[in-house]
Chains A and B, each alone.
Chain A
Amino acid sequence: MAENLVQRHKATTRIWHWLNAIALTVLLMSGLMIFNAHPRLYWGEYGSREDRAWLEIDDTRTTGFVKIGSTTLETTGVLGLSLGADDKVRRVAFPGWATIPTRYNLGAARRWHFAFAWLFALALTGFMAASLLNGHIRQHLHIRKAEWAVGNIWRDIKNHARLRFDAHNAGTYNILQKFSYVGVIFLLLPLMIFTGLAMSPAMNAALPWLHDIFAGRQSARSIHFICAALLSIFVLVHLVMVFLSGPINGIRSMVTGNVRQASQRDSTGVES
């Protein structure tokens, strides 16, 4: 069987993918440093040390813990209390290895965060516009009626559970891929931008509806944090999937745009 190269990813998709990977990494790590300045989350408009938090990361000087509602989890060594590179105990929510900068510096972390937020927002807007024009959304992300069928979704879940990823190289996305990519691109990433803007006191004056739709600034901050956590989970699963479905081919396709296919027929027997 002859090997052939098939174009998988458009140039705009590839450029955006890597810009977004850089931006999200910096935004997450600088965001964790900003969170360390006040590692408590609230619902509603206001919330401070004087009010009840639904999530908090803190320490007892000898142990670190995360408290969600009334449940406390000990997280010594990672969250709340951790060792710095100098082997000294640091009483911070997220450890130095997860933050930019490594040491507590709110001013610097904010500067990193807001600079890369521009890269993130402009790149996402550009990618969305390009994908609308070049057919990427219509051809690859649009979920067709037949794909919503329970049988199709169930078949894809079974394929994933059996680690059968033949279809991954067929030039189309399966339904679980579509769900996660559409959810990330059109829901989680825009939510990060809008909840971020809703935390700005100046933006609250300019666009009052923004913090209204999230039911308050502290709610927006909580949603910002939850979406960041969901995006982190997505990235982890994404990396595992790339690894399981053939990392060389996967990474090559996101760099050069092409995938190598062993056969001209994909797993469903359809001519590609």
Chain B
Amino acid sequence: MKNDRDIIGRRALLRGATLGGSALILSGCDALNESDMFRSALRTAETLNQVAHRSLMDRAALAPEFPASDISPVFKTNGSLTGTSDEYLAHVGNKFADWTLRIDGMVANPMNVSLETLRAMPSRTQITRHDCVEGWSAIAKWQGTPLRLLLQQAGLSARAKYIVFHCADSYGAQPYYESIDLIDAFHPQTILAWGMNGEMLPVKYGAPVRLRVERQLGYKQAKYVMRIEATDDLTKFHGGKGGYWEDVGDYEWYAGI
């Protein structure tokens, strides 16, 4: 610890001047931040954001799309750079020839869809901006199968409220997963992308398919999607908040901001 002080040296003393005023605000805010009541009050505002967005916005309003000249020269990689399950690694070795996407849960016809079948279905191509919760953005061209076509084929139950995406990547023992509501699931730009910038989706960007849900932040764009499950209750999955970062990082489930 003495070392650390030496590294920074005397200039660190500068902080003393400002410390007095802000310490009072900060210790108060940090205490509030630990208070369950205050956190749930802040959460009310989060719900307000979702309600405001959902009620003011046309359900089918499209996220901006860009000309090819706006595509990021290098699309930043982030999160997992590969799936981690043995099953996934075997599929990579086999170039996803035997890979199938499982669609089940609250659907009339649970099914397995091969990558070949997926690519033969009607697809949508869109050049959109990926916005990370951290603040950076990158633009790429995505090609994929509209999620609504798959949900219609599987016969989504009228009681289903959410679509859960189970992924092949994990952080330690925790598998990645995400979920969206049906407004976003049926949105025209919500696709299971298998193509990126005119090529097959590379492994580091989520091969063989990743979710694109263009009106929300990056952590909702699940990579390495293996299984899609329709449900009416998010609390029964993992930490119960509807997604890996929602469970672990306390991020908002509705990531429209």
Which residues does A use to contact B, with CB under 8 Å? 25-26, 29, 34-35, 37-38, 40, 45-51, 62, 76-78, 81-83, 86-89, 95-98, 100-102, 105-108, 110-112, 114-115, 118, 199-206, 208, 211, 217-218, 221
Chain A residues within 8 Å of B1, by CB: 86-88
**In the complex, how many angstroms separate the beta carbon of B253 from the nearest chain A beta carbon?**
11
The reply to whether B11 and A77 contact each other, CB–CB distance below 8 Å, is yes
A-B contact pairs, 30 of them (CB 8 A): A26-B29, A29-B25, A38-B134, A38-B135, A47-B136, A47-B137, A48-B132, A48-B138, A51-B74, A77-B12, A83-B4, A83-B8, A97-B15, A97-B23, A98-B18, A107-B245, A107-B251, A111-B42, A111-B46, A111-B252, A112-B42, A115-B41, A118-B48, A200-B256, A200-B257, A201-B216, A203-B256, A205-B64, A205-B214, A218-B137
The reply to whether B139 and A115 contact each other, CB–CB distance below 8 Å, is no
Complex: how many Å from CA A203 to CA B49?
11
Q: Which of A81, A89, A111, A202 contacts B39 (CB 8 A)?
A: A111
The reply to whether B138 and A46 contact each other, CB–CB distance below 8 Å, is yes
Chain A residues within 8 Å of B53, by CB: 202-203, 206
Contact with A along B57-92 (1 / 0, CB 8 A): 110011110100010111110000000000000000
Complex: how many Å from CA A240 to CA B168?
57
With A50-B72, A107-B249 in contact, is A97–B22 under 8 Å at CB? yes
Q: Which of B7, B23, B39, B129 contacts A46 (CB 8 A)?
A: B129
Q: Which of A45, A51, A77, A81 contacts B129 (CB 8 A)?
A: A45
The reply to whether A106 and B133 contact each other, CB–CB distance below 8 Å, is yes
Complex: how many Å from CA A37 to CA B217?
14
Chain A residues within 8 Å of B132, by CB: 38, 48
Q: Which 4 A-B pairs have the closest CB atoms?
A: A202-B256, A115-B45, A77-B11, A107-B250
Chain A residues within 8 Å of B153, by CB: none
With A26-B29, A101-B30 in contact, is A89–B8 under 8 Å at CB? yes
With A37-B135, A83-B5 in contact, is A201–B256 under 8 Å at CB? yes
Closest to A96 in B: B26
The reply to whether A205 and B215 contact each other, CB–CB distance below 8 Å, is yes
The reply to whether A115 and B129 contact each other, CB–CB distance below 8 Å, is no
**In the complex, how many angstroms separate the beta carbon of B49 from the nearest chain A beta carbon?**
6
The reply to whether B75 and A37 contact each other, CB–CB distance below 8 Å, is no
With A50-B76, A106-B134 in contact, is A77–B257 under 8 Å at CB? no
With A47-B136, A48-B136 in contact, is A217–B131 under 8 Å at CB? yes
The reply to whether A114 and B257 contact each other, CB–CB distance below 8 Å, is yes
The reply to whether A111 and B9 contact each other, CB–CB distance below 8 Å, is no
Assess whether B33 is interfacial by the CB under 8 Å rule: yes
Chain B residues within 8 Å of A81, by CB: 7-8
Closest to B45 in A: A115
Assess whether B14 is interfacial by the CB under 8 Å rule: yes
Chain A residues within 8 Å of B158, by CB: none
Complex: how many Å from CA A169 to CA B26?
34
Complex: how many Å from CA A86 to CA B2?
11
Known: A83-B15, A202-B57, A203-B257. 17 other contacts (CB 8 A): A37-B134, A45-B139, A48-B76, A77-B8, A77-B12, A83-B5, A86-B1, A89-B4, A100-B33, A106-B133, A110-B252, A111-B46, A201-B215, A202-B53, A204-B63, A218-B136, A221-B135
Chain B residues within 8 Å of A82, by CB: 8, 12, 15
Complex: how many Å from CA A248 to CA B180?
55
By CB atoms of chain A within 10 A, which of B4, B5, B135 has the most?
B135
By CB atoms of chain A within 10 A, which of B15, B139, B249 has the most?
B15
With A45-B129, A82-B8, A115-B45 in contact, is A97–B18 under 8 Å at CB? yes
Chain A residues within 8 Å of B63, by CB: 201, 204-205
With A50-B138, A82-B15 in contact, is A45–B8 under 8 Å at CB? no
The reply to whether B61 and A205 contact each other, CB–CB distance below 8 Å, is yes
Complex: how many Å from CA A76 to CA B6?
12
**In the complex, how many angstroms separate the beta carbon of B72 from the nearest chain A beta carbon?**
5
Q: Which of B5, B13, B49 contacts A87 (CB 8 A)?
A: B5
Chain A residues within 8 Å of B46, by CB: 111, 114-115
**In the complex, how many angstroms separate the beta carbon of B203 from the nearest chain A beta carbon?**
18
Chain A residues within 8 Å of B250, by CB: 105, 107-108, 111
